[in-house]
Structure 1
Amino acid sequence: MNTSATQKINVQKVESSRIGQVDFDNLTFGSIFSDHMFECDYKDGAWQNPTIKPYGPLTISPAAKVFHYGQAVFEGMKAYKDENGKVWLFRPEQNFLRINKSSVRMAMPEFPRDIFFEALIELVKLDKDWVKPGLGNSLYIRPFVMATQVGVGASPSTEYKFMILLSPAQAYYLGDVKVVIADHYSRSANGGVGAAKAAGNYGAQFFPTNLAREKGFQQVIWTDASKHEYLEEAGTMNVFFRVNDTLLTAPISDRILDGVTRKSVIALAKKDNITVEERPVLVSEIVEAAEKGSLKEIFGAGTAAVISPVSAFSYKEKTFELDKQEDGFASRFKKELLDIQYNRSEDPFGWRYEVK
């Protein structure tokens, strides 16, 4: 599909900011949004009318195909403010590449790189006061695309809307989480859309996650759809297992999302000379390691939570507690990532991207 844009970005500023109405010390993740948003429409084979405008509701037909066939993909990114007031993004190129990869898998048009980055930078610059300094504070960035063609015929849409929203955020999880290893429900299957950030992937997780919460667990570690023998992802995050001093994680496939935080953790581990094995991880080997005491840590890795340690897991009604690691891999990687993201340390990988 043609992904050219017909014009540069039109900027419409708010008359007065809503920032004074926000209690930044008591934020619920993803519920408050900044003054402006970006939108761009795909019609007649091209992206048109890229606009930054005041945040507000949309008018959309109830017959728009997104509501009927689920053509929608999204990304999750963050902006950080350092001690000198500079604002930084973290590996935005990866998010740009992935949203287009997701779009292709969902038969949606790719978005132009120049407009993506111009919109992203201008939007964050415009609402930079919403990026609060201090470790744990950030501005969550949500690019997404949805099908807007009117009609309920079962075919790909010919019209789409690309948008970017900004939401001030604090730490996603305040403590360790307890998880259930799935032995019935699945997140994705071979040949499916597990590797895409398709909206439906996440909606399908809510029911089994609710079942886990009824039993006192916060998240589910998903297993393969065929036999539920292999560990894949944890909730909305990639998942890592530390057995003795070796780090294990499932390989990227068409079932597993190529997480930006995941690949960053792997790079940090290799820099620190930690052995990393990207391979299929059996449920049985992790249960056995827990029984023998060689399973030291489990943690999730994702944009919203960064690193989320697991304090216990349950499998087939048996619960295994994990000892708290005072100087564990999870805490080490989280500190190293945050130090890079907040410009508190050197960035040997060139991951930081200054908004200026």
Structure 2
Amino acid sequence: MSLESNNGISIQKVETSKIASVDFENLKFGSVFTDHMLVCHYKDGKWGQVEIKPYGPMSFAPSTNVFHYGQAIFEGMKAYKDANEDVWLFRPRENWARFNKSAERMAMPHIDEERFVDGLKALINLDRDWVKQGEGNALYIRPFMIGTHEGVVAGPSSEFMFCIICSPARTYYSGKVKVQIAEHYSRAANGGVGYTKCSGNYAGQFYPTKLAQEAGYQQVIWTDDATHTKLEEAGTMNVFFRIGDTLITAPTSERILDGVTRKSLLDIAKSKGINVEVKSIVVQDLIDAHAKGELKEIFGAGTAVTVGQIEGFAFQEKYYQLPEVSDDNSFAIQLKTGLQGIQQKKIEDTFGWTEKI
């Protein structure tokens, strides 16, 4: 292994890359990781040096805070390679800002922009061969922070670890999915942590999603905790509804994540002249629109999937099939094509969202 320094970042390279052993045509999402990872520790009230080192196991004491009280947050991002072999990030400072928003709610320290963004760029530059060109190809990036103080006293950790790992990825979902609207279980509640990307938000979804899958559906559309009537998110994604020629999505709140993909799609939709409404929509609105033939599309939006189309939904044991909409007339396809075109540098980035590494 070789040891280098890059603008105060300690870099320890692997002796031999494992990239030659990876089948990039048959990747299972989030199962293969690049040669290196970024690590930085917080102790005595301050962050230490950023280290980039070979990806590998870590050792923690059984009493480490995160195992007992769940002080853990993360982000999801992607890097893309264009036709000129240049590598690009998509709105990384939005992820950095949201990461700190999550950290604040979870009583964790903010991470500065230099360690997050500059460290990330140094890591990806080192592993840039893992970013592949082509439709559907990307490098999925997972920054995360955990409480590392040793002890089982019920309180916030005084020590933390910030880490970034990367995984080559292809298309997350293939085809449309069927969803079940939640009638009992909730993803988040007012005053809670639903707007953060804390790990417990996702663990709490696993059981209701498992029940939905056993009933023949791939995902759950989550409703509000108080009335179970307001439609809020789909699986781990923000959710959009097309009624007539109007695109509707719920406003962000303490229960709904401020998705980077969500806000990007809203801006692209407006630029295309699509009528957009950010407002609460209830289950009965959806059923009424379906009965009138006005409910055209439902789709989820998130970093991993970009845009995931929904073919129908179930509520109170009744299933509602959505109509077939041609790709030319589909808002989901138009927005997905526009967003991915910007991310992959096939379309001019008039919004200034992309950053070259």
Separation (CA, whole Å) in 1 of partners of 2:216 and 2:324: 19
Residue in structure 2 matched with residue 13 of structure 1 by the alignment: 13
Tell me the alpha carbon deviations over residues 288-334 of structure 1, each in whole angstroms, 9 at most, x when there is no partner. Answer: 11121100000000000000000010001100111221120000000
Separation (CA, whole Å) in 2 of partners of 1:315 and 1:86: 46
8 Å contact from structure 1 (residues 8, 115) kept in 2: no
Residue in structure 1 matched with residue 203 of structure 2 by the alignment: 203
Separation (CA, whole Å) in 2 of partners of 1:293 and 1:245: 12
Q: 3-state DSSP class of the match of 1:41?
A: strand
| Structure 2 unpaired stretches of 5+ | 1-6
Report the CA distance between 1:212 and its aligned residue.
Answer: 0.5
1:161-180 matches, within 5 Å, as 161-180=161-180
Tell me the alpha carbon deviations over residues 98-139 of structure 1, each in whole angstroms, 9 at most, x when there is no partner. Answer: 000000000000001111111100100000000010010000
Report the CA distance between 1:195 and its aligned residue.
Answer: 0.3
Report the residue type matching 2:38 in the other structure.
F
1:28-47 matches, within 5 Å, as 28-47=28-47
Separation (CA, whole Å) in 2 of partners of 1:260 and 1:118: 20
Q: 3-state DSSP class of the match of 1:165?
A: strand
Residue in structure 1 matched with residue 227 of structure 2 by the alignment: 227
Separation (CA, whole Å) in 2 of partners of 1:229 and 1:339: 36
Separation (CA, whole Å) in 2 of partners of 1:23 and 1:273: 41
Alignment TM-score, normalising by the size of structure 1: 0.97
Report the residue type matching 1:38 in the other structure.
L
Q: Does 1:332 align with 2:318?
A: no
8 Å contact from structure 1 (residues 340, 347) kept in 2: yes
Residue in structure 1 matched with residue 317 of structure 2 by the alignment: 317
Separation (CA, whole Å) in 1 of partners of 2:204 and 2:178: 20
Tell me the alpha carbon deviations over residues 274-295 of structure 1, each in whole angstroms, 9 at most, x when there is no partner. Answer: 1111111111101111121100
Identity of aligned residues (%): 56
8 Å contact from structure 1 (residues 79, 89) kept in 2: yes
Separation (CA, whole Å) in 1 of partners of 2:109 and 2:302: 26
Q: 3-state DSSP class of the match of 2:191?
A: coil
Q: Does 1:75 align with 2:90?
A: no
| Structure 1 unpaired stretches of 5+ | 1-6
Separation (CA, whole Å) in 2 of partners of 1:205 and 1:324: 29
Residue in structure 1 matched with residue 85 of structure 2 by the alignment: 85
8 Å contact from structure 1 (residues 88, 354) kept in 2: yes
Separation (CA, whole Å) in 1 of partners of 2:220 and 2:201: 14
8 Å contact from structure 1 (residues 78, 90) kept in 2: yes
Separation (CA, whole Å) in 1 of partners of 2:45 and 2:194: 27
The list of structure 1 runs, each at least 4 consecutive aligned residues, that deviate by more than 2 angstroms after superposition, is none
Report the residue type matching 1:322 in the other structure.
L
Report the residue type matching 1:354 in the other structure.
K
Report the CA distance between 1:40 and its aligned residue.
Answer: 0.3
The partner residue of 2:347 within 345, 348, 352 is: 345
Alignment TM-score, normalising by the size of structure 2: 0.97
Residue in structure 1 matched with residue 151 of structure 2 by the alignment: 151
Report the residue type matching 1:301 in the other structure.
A
Report the CA distance between 1:49 and its aligned residue.
Answer: 2.7
Separation (CA, whole Å) in 2 of partners of 1:196 and 1:230: 19
1:240-259 matches, within 5 Å, as 240-259=240-259
Separation (CA, whole Å) in 1 of partners of 2:179 and 2:11: 45
Report the residue type matching 1:352 in the other structure.
T
Residue in structure 2 matched with residue 272 of structure 1 by the alignment: 272
Tell me the alpha carbon deviations over residues 208-235 of structure 1, each in whole angstroms, 9 at most, x when there is no partner. Answer: 0000101111100000000101000000
8 Å contact from structure 1 (residues 41, 49) kept in 2: yes
The farther-off stretch of 152-161 and 283-292 is 283-292
Separation (CA, whole Å) in 2 of partners of 1:74 and 1:215: 30
Q: 3-state DSSP class of the match of 2:200?
A: helix
Separation (CA, whole Å) in 1 of partners of 2:292 and 2:66: 49
Report the residue type matching 1:334 in the other structure.
K
Report the residue type matching 1:108 in the other structure.
M
Separation (CA, whole Å) in 1 of partners of 2:227 and 2:55: 46
Q: Does 1:105 align with 2:112?
A: no
Tell me the alpha carbon deviations over residues 74-100 of structure 1, each in whole angstroms, 9 at most, x when there is no partner. Answer: 000000001111111111110000000
